[in-house]
């Protein structure tokens, strides 16, 4: 661990953290920290940091930011470990500020009144997260620590959000109004996105093999797949409605499977179509860029084509293929939100409902989990690719 080294000598001052923390101070004092709405639709009245959280809350926020600025520039022997503790703890406790805000400003006896998160809070959350990433980078922390931090901060947020103090938060209210729908949306979203990725992975793999075996097919296949990618997503969703409806009408048993002009079938088809290009490109490039001299050596030592493929080409290509799966998954999770427009369900449904009802917090209830899913997929596949590199770095 670099921790022991940091105890022994002075570390150069950090220039990134003071800038981020300074910016956070600026925005948290100048933008609205939260708003109070008398009901779901009416725009609320904004409160600055001082008004929202009182001298105690405002003082705590200012103190934390100032302390992290100081910790990062003062000539110290230890720098990043206390910073990690400070910023990590602050991030975990951030929802408490919202509780204080709700407790101070929510009118008594107004059952429809709700508190909402303001721009100041979002910016503070964003900038503190950047500071945390910078600290983790400087500490050259291992995956274990990062995951532990993520889980404990996430857990703390969940606990606080599920607690009584934040019941009035509009985001929580939107969730509490439809917990079953939320769960349903989660599963639909996951099934659509990962289903599409799985199908396109198989199709792309077969296409890539076909392109390698018969180079004449490379141009037409890549051309077709690239063309699919250029169709705007809404247009593709729309285009699929008519042929699928016709199909369902002609073969009623398809309709019993749920294959109709709208719903999951056209969404899945469109998602697969969009996933093909990144998946195919990565798979094809990875498999063809195995160095010739290795293939030559393998063949010269007596490997047959099958052994060459499974023992040499595929293992060397796997990290790049997984990179393709990562890109595709993130893209599919985002696109699935749009697929709600043709009745496919998922978190996109909340987004479009919220837009329709001018209820921004319902939009957030759809958007935030979508972002969280994408980030998680990114982390998981990055780790997977790292663990499959040809040479483990630790060897």
Partner 1 sequence: MIELKNVTRRFGDTVAVDNINLTIETGEVCVLVGSSGCGKSTTLRMINRLLPHSAGNILVDGEDIAAMNPEQLRLNMGYVIQGTGLFPHWTVARNIAMVPQLLKWPRDRIDARVNELMTLLDLDPTVHANKYPQQLSGGQAQRVGVARALAADPNILLMDEPFGALDAITRENLQMEMLRIQKQVRKTTVFVTHDIDEALKLATRIAVMDRGRIIQHDTPENILRHPASEFVENLVGKQDRGLKLMSLRPVRELMNPHRGPKRADPGVEGLREEDSIRLALSVMLWRGLQEVSVFNAHGEETGVITRERIIREGA
Query: In the complex with partner 1, which residue's Cβ is closer, 12 or 301?
Result: 301
Q: Residue holding tokens 């043709």?
A: 342
Task: Number of residues interacting with partner 1: please give it, by CB under 8 A.
Answer: 20
Question: Shortest approach of partner 1 to residue 308 CB, angstroms?
Answer: 10
Return the residues of window 270-309 that contact partner 1 according to CB under 8 A. Answer: 293-294, 296-304, 307
Query: In the complex with partner 1, which residue's Cβ is closer, 44 or 298?
Result: 298
Of 135, 192, 268, 312, the one binding partner 1 (CB under 8 A) is 312
The binding track of 202-231 with respect to partner 1, each residue x by CB under 8 A or -, is ------------------------------
- As given in the structure block, the two tokens for residue 21 are 């923390």
Please give the full DSSP string across 213-276, using - where no structure is assigned. Answer: H-GGGHHHHHHHHHHHHHS-HHHHHHHHHHHHHHHHHH-HHHHHTT-SSSSHHHHHHHHHHHHH
Query: In the complex with partner 1, which residue's Cβ is closer, 290 or 363?
Result: 290
Q: What is d(CA 391, CA 201) in angstroms, rounded to the nearest whole number?
A: 25
Query: In the complex with partner 1, which residue's Cβ is closer, 256 or 304?
Result: 304
Of 315, 356, 372, 386, the one binding partner 1 (CB under 8 A) is 315
Q: CA of 137: how far to CAs of 84, 134, 214, in Å? A: 11, 5, 46
Query: In the complex with partner 1, which residue's Cβ is closer, 285 or 303?
Result: 303
Ramachandran quadrant class, 118 (left: phi over 0; alpha: psi -120 to 50; beta: rest): beta
Of 12, 74, 250, 395, the one binding partner 1 (CB under 8 A) is 395
Question: Shortest approach of partner 1 to residue 378 CB, angstroms?
Answer: 24
Query: In the complex with partner 1, which residue's Cβ is closer, 198 or 388?
Result: 388
Q: Is 360 in the site for partner 1 (CB under 8 A)?
A: no
Long-range contacts of 222-228 (CB under 8 A, 24+ apart): 222/280, 222/281, 222/284, 225/276, 225/277, 225/280, 226/277, 228/273, 228/274, 228/276, 228/277
Return the residues of window 228-257 that contact partner 1 according to CB under 8 A. Answer: none
Q: What is d(CA 252, CA 277) in angstroms, rounded to the nearest whole number?
A: 32
- Chain residues that interact with partner 1, rule: CB under 8 A: 293-294, 296-304, 307, 311-312, 315-316, 390-392, 395
């Amino acid at each position: 661990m670099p921790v022991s080294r940091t105890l022994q000598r002075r570390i150069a001052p950090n220039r990134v953290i003071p800038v981020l923390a300074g910016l956070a101070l600026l925005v948290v004092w100048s933008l609205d920290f939260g708003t109070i709405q008398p009901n779901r639709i009416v725009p609320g009245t904004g409160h600055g940091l001082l008004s929202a959280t009182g001298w105690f809350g405002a003082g705590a926020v200012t103190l934390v930011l100032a302390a992290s600025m100081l910790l990062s520039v003062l000539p110290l022997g230890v720098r990043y470990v206390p910073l990690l503790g400070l910023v990590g703890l602050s991030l975990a406790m951030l929802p408490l500020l919202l509780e204080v805000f709700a407790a101070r400003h929510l009118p008594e006896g107004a059952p429809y009144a709700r508190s909402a998160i303001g721009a100041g809070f979002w910016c503070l959350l964003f900038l503190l997260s950047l500071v945390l990433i910078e600290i983790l980078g400087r500490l050259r922390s291992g995956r274990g620590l990062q995951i532990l931090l993520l889980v404990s901060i996430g857990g703390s947020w969940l606990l606080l959000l599920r607690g009584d103090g934040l019941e009035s938060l509009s985001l929580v209210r939107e969730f509490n109004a439809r917990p079953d729908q939320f769960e349903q949306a989660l599963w639909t979203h996951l099934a659509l996105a990962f289903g599409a990725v799985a199908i396109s992975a198989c199709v792309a793999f077969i296409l890539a093999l076909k392109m390698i075996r018969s180079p004449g097919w490379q141009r037409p296949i890549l051309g077709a797949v690239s063309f699919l990618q250029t169709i705007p997503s809404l247009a593709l969703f729309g285009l699929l409605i008519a042929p699928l409806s016709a199909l369902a009408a002609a073969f009623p048993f398809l309709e019993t499977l749920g294959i109709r002009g709208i719903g999951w079938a056209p969404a899945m088809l469109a998602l697969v179509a969009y996933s093909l290009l990144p998946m195919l490109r990565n798979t094809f490039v990875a498999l063809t860029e195995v160095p010739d001299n290795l293939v030559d050596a393998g063949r010269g030592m007596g490997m047959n084509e099958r052994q060459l493929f499974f023992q040499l080409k595929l293992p060397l290509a796997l990290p790049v293929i997984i990179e393709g799966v990562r890109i595709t998954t993130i893209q599919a999770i985002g696109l699935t939100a749009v697929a709600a427009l043709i009745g496919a369900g998922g978190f996109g449904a909340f987004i479009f409902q919220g837009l329709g009802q001018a209820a921004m917090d319902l939009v957030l209830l759809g958007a935030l989990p979508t972002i969280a899913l994408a980030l998680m997929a990114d982390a998981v596949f990055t780790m997977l690719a790292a663990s499959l590199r040809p040479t483990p770095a630790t060897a």
